[in-house]
Amino acid sequence: MKIVFNKKVYFFALLLTSFNMMAQEFGKVAGKITLSGNKPAENIAVALKGTKYSDVTTVSGQYEITRVKPGTYTIVISGVGIQALEDKVVVTSQKTTSKNFSLSESQEDLNEVVITKNKYKQDKPSMSLRLQTPVLEIPQNVQIVSGQTLKDQQITSMSDGVIRNVSGAVRLEHWGDLYTNITMRGSQIQAFRNGFNVVSSYWGPLTEDMSFVDHIEFVKGPAGFMLSSGDPSGLYNVVTKKPTGITKGEVSAIVGSYDFYRVSLDLDGKLDKKGKLLYRFNGAAQKKGSFRPYEHNDRYVIAPVISYQFDDKTKLTFEYNFQYANMTEVGSYYVFGPKAGGYATMPRNFTMTAPGLPDTNIQDHSGYLQFEHKFDDNWKLTAQTSYFKYIQQGYSSWPSAVGPATTANGDIANGEIIRNVGIWDADSNMFLGQIFVNGKFSTGAVSHKVLGGIDLGDKDYAADWGQSHDLDTAANPFNIYNPNYGTPSNGFPQFDHDTPLSQRVVGLYGTKYAAGYIQDELGFFDNKLRLTLAARYTWISQTSSYETEPNEDSHITPRAGLSYSITNDFAVYGLYDQAFTPQSGVVRDGELKPLTGNNIEFGIKKDWFDGSWNTTLSVYNIIKKNELTSDPQSTPQFPTKIVLGEKRAQGFEFDLRGKIFGGLNLIANYAFTESTVTKSNVSGINVGDVVPGYSKHTANAWLNYTVQSGKIKGLGASIGGTFLDGRETDTWSEGLERLPSYFKLDGGLSYEIGKVKVTANVFNILDKYLYSGSYYEWLQAYYWQAEPGRNFRVGVTYKL
């Protein structure tokens, strides 16, 4: 796909400008809403009656309704739990009309506030994205998976079906429920949490449990200027739950197939009478079996948050997340077969694991301290710091020979495998800090939304995967057609876990960075035309156990975006962005360097039927340089990567989400992706070769209907599906057989009455044998990971 600029583009720009000049001048309505005791009223709906103009109050009680046609309106203040207010307001061209309201209700009275037009669509990004702009006006494709979506689909972790709600997101190499390595726009995207880049190695972070997650933001394309280094393909930002000041809570219990049991608790409220000291507590415990025997993955989570509102301008928040995973060894979910057989030659529930191996356990700690101060209604300072600690002690299974293959003791026949277990102990520390300022002001007829800040980071990851042990011998191998799950012929490993990891480390990666950035969003013609200009300076220092000296580099990455609102609910945009981000891994025949790249993107965004649902269509062209990719000669004991050279990803994406009409909600998306090599530094990888690790065609849909009235009010039904075609394997070793097309159908029923909601979902309704995998050149074998057959979950939620 080539993007061609010609005279038609300039003519189109001039035409849009002329429409602006002919357009009627708009006005603005703004003000503040307070509760009794002069406490700011957050998340209160404000609308001009009978129109599309609306807003929701901020944490300081402020609202702002822009681009309103001059005239007389009725302004309505509403929300469940408060008595609606109405008043007249006159809007004048090119002026701001101030309208403040004081509600008689106190915070205790507000047990529930309806703040969205539907449960699947969110119009504004979180403050952790640092933007003051509605999603419709951002010159970039941003998709938000709402908290209600996570509940309705019974998603329990970041690896548990989240990506079905976003165009072009796939997981071809699953890593079980350990890590959520998501590919989008032809590359693995970066993992963020509350605006922090939490990637310390290729194998992390531990996938987030949904008990403490509020919603998830997918940012397509680079976002390094605002989020402490990002990939040209994009990122996902997990936004955790925060105190709302509204006293509420809920407890949930889920049971499911294969010994799945889960309970979770969410408590939200205040610790003092004035409502200044607030808290939020989330916890979960989960026992999870598998359709494969001898396999389990148990999770335990606690996530307390405390915030203190000094006044309506200053707020301090402390948050701690702890996740503990106790699971079968990493790799237990893979099955290997000889080259002659191809994929999926064994039953779906077949396993190669050895019962009796000790469990692998992981402790994942993260703490955040955030300070927010509003100087006035237009300027705000945010400073936050975080510390992440990751401790893993366990094992990784991977065969050392798959028949037919030659070993030191002779030949291994078809169906015979020598299973190998390696140690995988790891320790990671991350110290991250951010300080940024958001501001608004005007110069004449031009409005400005300014963002400026500094990012600092220090990350390290140390691992021991140098100890390994063959479970089987050549004389007595493991036979996949006649498996013996007793004590392995070569016994169990006796690894050294006691010597300090620092003395036995094999893989060591470190990254330090410092960056400063500034952005200005200029609004013309009463903010109908928006020009975004930004730049970021980044310094990075990287180290590894295979490098004698740190690799240091610095770069300035510019950003330019243009967004134009044809109508209040219809916008077009264009974007040019660059990226500069660290990479981790052991490089063979090359030097570890930061990844650089750029993205050119155009798109159309449209809200439909008074903002009930929206659509986004985007096309893009991404160039990436110095990217590390999987090494065909890599082994489990010495995992290495190679510097590819340069690749190009291009395609288009379409997303639809929201309420189609009363009770009917839809999420649907489609993406076409193509990624090829444009320059190669590696023998055997040629210009024009397809880059591994994505699906050329991805399509998803999730339809939910809830009866709105009558005797069966509250009864709901859902149906959804995922289709993948043109699936590329995760390695350069393509083998003789390609991955087949993929289709999964899910559905469910729900019933809500009063404080109780019952949800039941059935997954893989058609009971298809679904899997992902690759051909592994080093073993001359195929490997694949199967998904469960038809299975169910039934959950009950009670609101306290």
- Over the stretch 704-758, which tens digit does the pLDDT of each residue have? 999 988 899 999 999 999 999 999 887 777 667 888 999 999 999 999 999 999 9
pLDDT exceeds 80 at position 165: yes
pLDDT for position 637: 52
pLDDT exceeds 60 at position 405: no
**Residue 787 confidence class, pLDDT cut points 50, 70, 90:** very high
Interatomic CA distance for residues 432 and 453, integer angstroms: 14
Cβ atoms of 439 and 450 closer than 8 Å: yes
The β-bridge partners of 540 are 513, 553
* Torsion angle (degrees, nearest 10) of CA 372, 374, 378, 383: -30
**Residue 794 confidence class, pLDDT cut points 50, 70, 90:** very high
Least confident piece of the model among 405-409, 426-430, 464-468: 405-409
Helix extents (H) in 273-376: none
**Residue 557 confidence class, pLDDT cut points 50, 70, 90:** confident
782: left (phi over 0), alpha (psi -120 to 50) or beta: beta
Q: What share of the chain is helix, strand, coil (3-state, %, to 5)?
A: 5, 55, 40
pLDDT for position 603: 96
Residue 209 DSSP symbol:
B
**Max avg pLDDT among 495-499, 682-686, 764-768, 776-780:** 764-768
What is the chain's length?
A: 800
* Torsion angle (degrees, nearest 10) of CA 138, 127, 169, 626: 80
Buried b (16+ CB within 10 A) or exposed e, 562-586: bbbbeebbebbbbbbbbbbbbbbbb
What percent of the chain stands above pLDDT 70? 87
Residue 691 DSSP symbol:
P
**Residue 632 confidence class, pLDDT cut points 50, 70, 90:** low
> Could you say which of 1.10.645.10, 3.40.50.150, 2.60.40.10, 3.40.50.620 is the CATH number of the domain covering 7-109?
2.60.40.10
Which CATH architecture fits 248-799?
Beta Barrel (2.40)
Domain positions in the chain are: 7-109, 127-240, 248-799
**Is the pTM above the cut of 0.85?**
no
Give the tokens for residue 324: 């503990």
Give the tokens for residue 244: 């709302």
Nearest to 540 by CA among 555, 549, 552, 557: 552
Which of the two residues, 610 and 539, has the higher pLDDT score? 539
- Over the stretch 316-343, which tens digit does the pLDDT of each residue have? 999 999 999 999 998 899 999 877 778 9
- Which residue is it, tokens 């690790």? 693
Average pLDDT of the chain is 86
Type and span of the H or E element at 74: strand 71-78
CATH of domain 127-240: 2.170.130.10
What percent of the chain stands above pLDDT 90? 53
Interatomic CA distance for residues 282 and 264, integer angstroms: 7
Burial bucket for residue 344 (CB in 10 Å: 0-12, 13-18, 19+): buried
Least confident piece of the model among 90-99, 141-150, 195-204, 521-530: 195-204
Is the Cα torsion angle 164, 170, 172, 176 positive or negative in sign? negative
